[in-house]
């Protein structure tokens, strides 16, 4: 019986929906998404299997929601799951290192010196994130004004490295996704630990963009790109939450 690939080809026409029934199959303590009883596979041919039934059900719901065609753009959980199984599982150390690299130049450490309202807005959104890093991660960060790079202490980056989980590839993939989307490992770790919500993290990540939009107006194309990124952000945060739930 032929297994089903869980991604459509790059820029080719979207494939038609070819299945009728989507289920979650439990086998040996794992939960598999199936289409007409066939297990879904990732692009690299790994079985799409989860330790959390709730996460498997959420991914299955994306497949159920497809209508005439299968559109990966409407399946963010499936996409992140593919990354987890095909990429993160094989390169955990590299993924952790990349998250720590973001922390070395974390968004919340680079502050404007003017105007006063932007300075105040950055403090409002970013100072609590640094407090979280100090109190919960035992990581103290050095601030800088403008874009001049500042080296963070080795012990600070080691504290971040220690805080990044390696045990669950889905958690690590979701954490990496949030880090990349926000430009901040600290915002991502805050979502992971429930210190702030995904919505709060997104607002903090977009302080500067919001300020520029207020000054110069909103651009429709830029807004559309931001909305797509927000969908990805919400999916990653949902994956973190669902991965923590075990049946």
CATH of the domain at 19: 3.30.2180.10
What would the two tokens of residue 39 be?
Answer: 């297990």
pTM exceeds cut of 0.75: yes
Same domain, 187 and 102: yes
Q: List, for residues 86-125, the tens digit of each pLDDT value.
A: 999 999 999 999 999 999 999 999 999 999 999 999 999 9
107 lies in the same domain as 80: no
What pLDDT band is residue 185 in, cutting at 50, 70 and 90?
very high
Whether the per-residue pLDDT at 8 is higher than 60: the answer is no
Q: Do 80 and 122 fall into the same domain?
A: no
CB neighbour list of residue 226: distance below 8 Å, 6 or more residues apart: 206, 209
Mean pLDDT of the region 152-179: 97
The mean per-residue pLDDT over the stretch 183-199 comes to: 97
51 and 96: one domain? no
Do 81 and 96 belong to one domain? no
Q: Are residues 81 and 101 in the same domain?
A: no
Domain boundary among 29, 64, 86: 86
CATH number at residue 198: 1.10.3580.10
Q: Are residues 128 and 238 in the same domain?
A: yes
Instruction: Output the DSSP codes for 81-119.
Output: HHHHHHTGGG-HHHHHHHHHHHHHT-GGGEE--S-HHHH
Same domain, 138 and 23: no
Whole-number pLDDT of residue 102: 98
More confident residue, 59 or 244: 59
Cβ contact 181:228 at 8 Å: no
For residues 222-247, give the mean pLDDT: 90
Boundary (domain end) residue, out of 61, 86, 111? 86
| Percent of the chain with pLDDT strictly greater than 90 | 85
pLDDT exceeds 60 at position 2: no
For range 8-26, the mean pLDDT? 84
Q: Does 79 lie in the same domain as 102? A: no
Shared domain for 72 and 39, answered yes or no, is yes
**Mean pLDDT computed over 148-162:** 96
137/193 same-domain check: yes
The terminus-to-terminus CA distance of the chain in angstroms comes to 29
Same domain, 128 and 13: no
Could you tell me the two tokens for 153? Answer: 């202490």
State residue 147's pLDDT score: 79
5 or 212, higher pLDDT: 212
Q: Which domain holds residue 65?
A: 4-86
Span 67-73, average pLDDT: 94
Of the residues 56, 86, 116, which one is the last residue of a structural domain?
Answer: 86
Q: How many domains does the chain have?
A: 2
């Amino acid at each position: 019986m032929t297994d089903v690939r869980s991604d459509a080809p790059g820029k080719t026409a979207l494939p038609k929906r070819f299945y009728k029934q989507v289920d979650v199959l439990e086998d040996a303590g794992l939960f598999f998404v199936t289409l007409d009883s066939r297990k879904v596979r990732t692009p690299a041919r790994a079985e799409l299997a989860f330790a959390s039934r709730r996460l498997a059900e959420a991914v299955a719901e994306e497949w159920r929601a497809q209508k005439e065609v299968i559109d990966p753009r409407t399946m963010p959980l499936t996409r992140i799951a593919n990354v987890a199984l095909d990429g993160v599982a094989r390169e955990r150390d590299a993924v952790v290192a990349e998250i720590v690299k973001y922390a070395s130049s974390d968004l919340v450490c680079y502050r404007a010196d003017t105007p006063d309202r932007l300075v105040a807005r950055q403090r409002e959104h970013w100072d609590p994130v640094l407090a979280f890093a100090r109190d919960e991660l035992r990581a103290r960060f050095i601030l800088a004004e403008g874009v001049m790079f500042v080296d963070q202490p080795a012990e600070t980056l080691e504290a971040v490295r220690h805080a990044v989980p390696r045990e669950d590839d889905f958690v690590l993939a979701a954490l990496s996704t949030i880090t990349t989307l926000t430009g901040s490992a600290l915002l991502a770790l805050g979502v992971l630990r429930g210190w702030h919500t995904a919505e709060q993290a997104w607002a903090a990540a977009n302080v500067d963009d919001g300020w520029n939009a207020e000054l110069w107006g909103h651009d429709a194309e830029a807004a559309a790109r931001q909305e797509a990124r927000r969908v990805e952000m919400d999916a990653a945060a949902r994956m973190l939450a669902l991965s923590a739930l075990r049946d």
